[in-house]
Amino acid sequence: MERAKIAVEKVGSKSTVTRCFSKYPLKFIVPLKAAPSNIDAVWIYSLTYGGGIVSGDLISCEFDIGDSCTLVLTTQASTKVYKSIDSRCSEQVLEARVGSGALFVVIPDPVTCFSTARYSQKQIFRVVSDSNLVIVDWITSGRHESGEKWDFELYKSTNHIFLDQDQPLFLDTVLLEQGSIVSIAERMQEYQVIAMVILLGPSLKHIQNQVQENVKRMMSEQLHMPSTSAGHHYRSNSDPKRLAKPTIIASCSNFGPKGVGVVVRVAAITTESVYRFLQRQLVGLEPMIGISPFL
């Protein structure tokens, strides 16, 4: 299988795409002026022909971000995973090498799996001690307008980060699979979106600190909010005094030597609330990449 490949290197002190190859059904768009001219950052939009991933598709891509370069990988819309045919699984694999002092920002729109879809993605990042990495990985429950909520058969997302080629730094897998006894929808209850944000590297330390403070404050406020406060809690019919779950919940923790990385996990009732959350938490990236993410 031939892989799509992107290489970014310094050319005349500017981060520049020196190689760009893609193969059906994947396509890359590299706009010339995505960020202001005074910001040294390359933006790449990933899309698929037909607007989504078809049953049985196998997409593989490789990224090489050279020393001191900045690359932002994003999408133009949510990644749609169409219905599975004959129980075939769609797969997507991303492998990246992030050089010394480099910054790789992966900020796609969410994955949206159609009814019966089977989808597996794996992302592998190889970094050095001063590499910088931002990963947003998230999924919605499906096509609400069609009445689909957690109706897909399988969703699996794996993120692995290795330090100095082979030292495991972060190993994580999210697996949602329909069970014979309890469905995904029953397990997820009111929540329609789950997300994970990873922040790694010395250049992102100030953002890590701010995100941790924001999450701590947000959850403290929500968990102490009176049950009469609209938008955060509602009263249970069975127990008027009981607090319902918040519309968005988040947790934050460090990983790696000396807490070099931070991982944030989010569950929310609406996609819009996660977009707003990501906008607030990642606004500190704007001076590095030229545009505030998810605006």
Give me the pLDDT at residue 254, please. 97
The whole-angstrom separation of Cα 71 and Cα 94 is 14
The whole-angstrom separation of Cα 114 and Cα 111 is 10
Place of tokens 């520049």: 16
pLDDT digits (tens, 9 = 90+) for 73-129: 999 999 999 999 999 999 999 999 999 999 999 999 999 999 999 999 999 999 999
pLDDT digits (tens, 9 = 90+) for 52-83: 999 999 999 999 999 999 999 999 999 999 99
Torsion sign across C-alpha atoms 276, 264, 156, 162? positive
The whole-angstrom separation of Cα 48 and Cα 92 is 12
| Residues forming beta bridges with residue 19, ordered by sequence position | 7
Give me the pLDDT at residue 233, please. 47
| Residues forming beta bridges with residue 121, ordered by sequence position | 92, 157
Please report which confidence band the pLDDT of residue 287 belongs to, taking 50, 70 and 90 as the band edges.
very high
Of 10-19, 117-126, 140-149, where does mean pLDDT reach its minimum? 140-149
Please report which confidence band the pLDDT of residue 33 belongs to, taking 50, 70 and 90 as the band edges.
confident
Closest listed residue to residue 37, CA positions, set 15, 20, 18: 15
Question: Structure tokens of 8?
Answer: 């970014």
Closest listed residue to residue 47, CA positions, set 30, 71, 27: 27
Give me the pLDDT at residue 11, please. 96
| Residues forming beta bridges with residue 6, ordered by sequence position | 20, 63
pLDDT digits (tens, 9 = 90+) for 169-183: 999 999 999 987 899
Give me the pLDDT at residue 2, please. 64
Closest listed residue to residue 233, CA positions, set 223, 246, 220: 246
pLDDT digits (tens, 9 = 90+) for 227-280: 444 444 444 444 544 556 789 999 999 999 989 999 999 999 999 999 999 999
Phi, psi for residue 50 in degrees, rounded to 5: 85, -5
